[in-house]
Chains A and B, each alone.
Chain A
């Protein structure tokens, strides 16, 4: 039987998804289920003087209305600064003031219009820098400051780095709000049983943390809350925290005495779901004449909006890219996370890394240009290597950065060391799309590169980075893997089944994966940080090995052969000598159909050997493995319109080992779609706290027709701690894309963009500024 590892295994859940059988949150219908809707604030910052629900209560079909008077006393959220409904002050236009449960959505909407709220507008803050000024109004008065957190990291000696530098590059960056834009909008269904226990059907990515956070927010015991994850129609970090709609659904259900579903419209999704925090950053970096990086100094100012979530920890990731992508002897990274009256922000795929990779990797090109060095050669000279510890304390084990860079360079037909950026003169590489063009044409072509470093072996940002698993074998030789981790579309279910299939020598069709119910599955910190294949994979492997040992013990008693003389293959237990074989189900039956019988149930719990970063120095090895990647973008820029067309995007990622190459490519290609959008089209436009483009018409995702030719290259480095050598890849697909495209735009037309998306207007403005400058 061939190995299950390395197979292009179609996803186990795909046939049901292809036939409309899969049950998403929006598809759940419970008996007596009501429809909930929230009333949002009319002002970004205001005192609430009065909320009158009397008219709404009289509307036939309305079953419950809640206001801040129904809030439990405990605040919730990462910063314990949020309440389900707002009673005294609203701090954002997305703040819920009241919520209604009614027998249908139209009645709920009508009831919202009958609720009368009196506000007294307060001075609002829409700019993070303004919010830090002395005397600025306080968003959360009890905190005494609008600065939620400050990060201050250093290694080496920055002054020494400056002295060692022959060239310096410096720039300001401004990066926007970005939405997850999962195709399924947020949805939650809350239902209480007769004991007062809550079952929450949810699209969360953190079922166990939500169980705890939600029970605290509602004043329940953790054991009174059960989270059932429905099929999840895209997550991308949206479900990484508790948000007000979850306790609101529960409070409505409790008050109405009936289950309540609260589902977002697309409009609401853009307004009220957490988004990527906008950031302004300044970077200064240097290098020596022989192409060694000397230092990096970065300050980042993040607008986290009116309440904090886990998204406020993204500076830790920005810090990692700044301090540890390439060998950098002297680094300072400082950051502030600041409250404003803007939309709330959260975690979005990459978690700070697309932002920091943009400033680090475009600055690498500035340095290469100043040194007149081939930008790939410059990167290779400074590349991270296997088995080295960075000054930040990252213990890099496997590392394929060099291989990734060389692989994308080869696809560009660029010989390392021989290539020099020749602005606006690139008429051809040997690639098929780079046909010769006339030098007088307004279409200019260019190529650009960028690398990425991302955690690939978990990320300890919480005291545990663990995941549990149970492998059960039934009387028919059928295997159930019960895992703490969650399928969010990425294919974890299938990859974990492949791992178990490999250990137990059974067909993948004989494995069922259960992963959606906190009452059934063992603990897991959540599906994030590209951690599931590595962490849940190790846990599944341990559980399968435990189950296999139980099988061998029973087979040993049945056949009189020592337990270590067995293997599992083709659904059978066979002796190593090959002369005896029993069907797996028979072993399972024999184990329990006897006095003192037992079942086959293997357990595994894996928590990687990593550390929380030190709270003062921010140093420490937060991941058991690190993923690397590089991308090459080839662009065509129209100098008359400023339009940038990406012709080709070549993506290479070091994934340790691809357990399912098709799924790995899927992560890389899907990440690229998000990276392309970040680079060129996606921006949630927020003016005075208000989202101006809350729909897909004005918030533009890349469509199938917009996509460039995508090429993926999987680099395998066989990580020593990964399950069968695998590392994570979930976030890396899109982290270097914007930087590679910005570098390609410079190669094409000689302007460096320091903001995204690089829209035609921005490209054209930059071109005009350059021309003005050239003639001045």
Chain B
């Protein structure tokens, strides 16, 4: 099959890749760009572990062909911390005990960042609804929701 010439900016770095056009964004991020913080949990858009931001919007990278992201700007969990400091959402998840096995964590972080960008002071229900596409089997979500709300609290109205 003819290869697809993909240009992808990931975490502020631009890559040119020749890929099989059938491959997903998840597959390319994990295997070509070694971004293994993007987790593969279900391959069907049901668990949210592979959530990344494409042009600022959260998507399940297992459900998106990499070729469809040609020219796009992608943000993964590896690109979120700046200058060696955890992003406030990362910090809050650590401090509130919102991380246990950690497999859902990168997707949770990306979904939370997308929410807070769109809605800096969400209500608890809004947080719960926004994260409903990200499954967690360890925490019961309570501490994750509290962490995200604590970041929202810190934003001046």
Contact = CB atoms under 8 A, between A and B. Distances in A.
Interface of A: 8, 10-11, 13-15, 17-24, 26-27, 180-185, 231-236, 265-266, 488-491, 662-663, 665-666, 668-674, 695-697, 701, 703-707, 710, 733
Given A18-B93, A666-B97, A13 B127 contact: no
B155 interface: no
B100 interface: yes
B14 to A, nearest CB: 20
Contact of A19 (B81, B131, B139, B140): B81
Given A184-B41, A184-B101, A704 B137 contact: no
B128 interface: yes
Contacts of A701: 135, 137
24 contacts: A10-B95, A11-B99, A14-B99, A14-B102, A18-B93, A18-B102, A20-B35, A20-B78, A183-B101, A231-B101, A233-B39, A233-B102, A266-B41, A266-B47, A489-B102, A489-B138, A662-B96, A663-B97, A665-B97, A704-B127, A705-B129, A705-B132, A707-B128, A707-B142
A697 B48 CA distance: 12
A704 to B, nearest CB: 4
A20 B138 contact: no
A19 B90 contact: yes
Given A184-B103, A266-B42, 6 more contacts: A17-B105, A20-B36, A20-B37, A235-B101, A489-B101, A489-B138
A8 B97 contact: yes
B100 A490 contact: yes
Contacts of A490: 100, 138
Interface of B: 35-44, 46-47, 49, 76-78, 80-81, 86, 90, 93-97, 99-106, 109, 127-129, 131-145
Given A18-B109, A666-B139, A233 B42 contact: no
Contact of A18 (B90, B127, B133): B90
B97 A234 contact: no
Contacts of A665: 97, 142-143
Q: What secondary structure prevails in chain B residues at the interface with A? A: loop
Chain A interface, DSSP helix/strand/loop, else mixed: loop
A670 B135 contact: no
Nearest to A23: B36
By Cβ-Cβ distance, the 3 closest A-B pairs, closest first, are: A20-B37, A489-B101, A17-B102
A10 B78 contact: no
A24 B39 contact: yes
A757 B63 CA distance: 30
Of the listed residues A185, A235, A491, A670, the one surrounded by the most CB atoms of chain B closer than 10 A to its CB is A670
Nearest to B31: A29
B94 A20 contact: no
A181 B41 CA distance: 10
A14 B134 CA distance: 18
Contacts of B96: 662
A22 B102 contact: yes
A265 B80 CA distance: 28
A696 B135 contact: yes
B132 A666 contact: no
Among A18, A181, A231, A491, the one with the most B-chain Cβ atoms within 10 Å of its Cβ is: A18
Contacts of B104: 183
Nearest to B141: A704
A520 B101 CA distance: 23
A489 to B, nearest CB: 3
Nearest to A263: B40
A234 B94 contact: no
A387 B38 CA distance: 50
Contacts of A183: 39, 41, 47, 49, 101, 103-104, 135-137
A485 to B, nearest CB: 15
B93 A14 contact: yes
Contacts of B49: 183
Nearest to B101: A489
Nearest to B125: A705
A582 to B, nearest CB: 33
A696 B47 CA distance: 7
Contacts of B36: 20, 23-24, 26-27
B136 A20 contact: no
